[in-house]
Amino acid sequence: MRVPSFYRSKSFQRMLFGAVIGAILSWLFFLYVYGQMQEEQVTTIRKQQEQIANLEKEKNIWQEDFKKLNEKNKELLTVQELSIKITNASKYKIDPLSLFEAEEEIKKEVDSTILAKNLDELFKDRGLLIKLIENKPIEISDRKYKLSVKKFILYTTVIIEVELSLAD
């Protein structure tokens, strides 16, 4: 049995030539469409990269301004309020009115040196302030007491907790 020789037939040659031309044309069409899509993608990516770069620059500018503002505000923090509490008044059976008067007396003494003062300066002088409170004896109900600072919290509100002990 023999395979027929179609390569000599004109109709077969035309069909084969048409298939080759069709393959070449379809390949050229594919390359054109693929190139157009890639060009659009490259353009989109470049626009996005430029936008990202601009946003990062803007973000850095905002962050630097924010840091400068924070530093400026940190410098401007001042003491607004003073709170003094005597913690062991019940041990010496001190009545509430005398306790309040004693706390107010301590507050008057310390108020002038603390209020409206920069927190940074006050932090540096905290040892001096503690010594100021501890070295001054206080008289409550005809008894003299020494004060010892047990808690000293420093922020816009200064909280000082003191304990009483009988003065010698």
d(CA 140, CA 94): 8
Give me the pLDDT at residue 1, please: 56
d(CA 89, CA 87): 6
- Residues 163, 86 contacting (CB under 8 angstroms): yes
Average pLDDT on 134-150 reads 90
Kindly report, residue by residue over 60-115, the tens digit of the pLDDT: 999 999 999 988 877 677 888 899 999 998 898 889 999 999 999 999 988 888 87
Average pLDDT, the chain: 89
pLDDT band at residue 2, thresholds of 50, 70 and 90? Answer: low
pLDDT band at residue 153, thresholds of 50, 70 and 90? Answer: very high
Q: Which of 91, 111, 89 is nearest to 99 (CA)?
A: 89
Average pLDDT on 121-146 reads 89
- Residues 162, 147 contacting (CB under 8 angstroms): yes
Domain boundaries along the sequence of the chain = 6-75, 81-166
- Say whether pLDDT at 4 is over 70: no
Give me the pLDDT at residue 3, please: 59
pTM for this prediction: 0.57
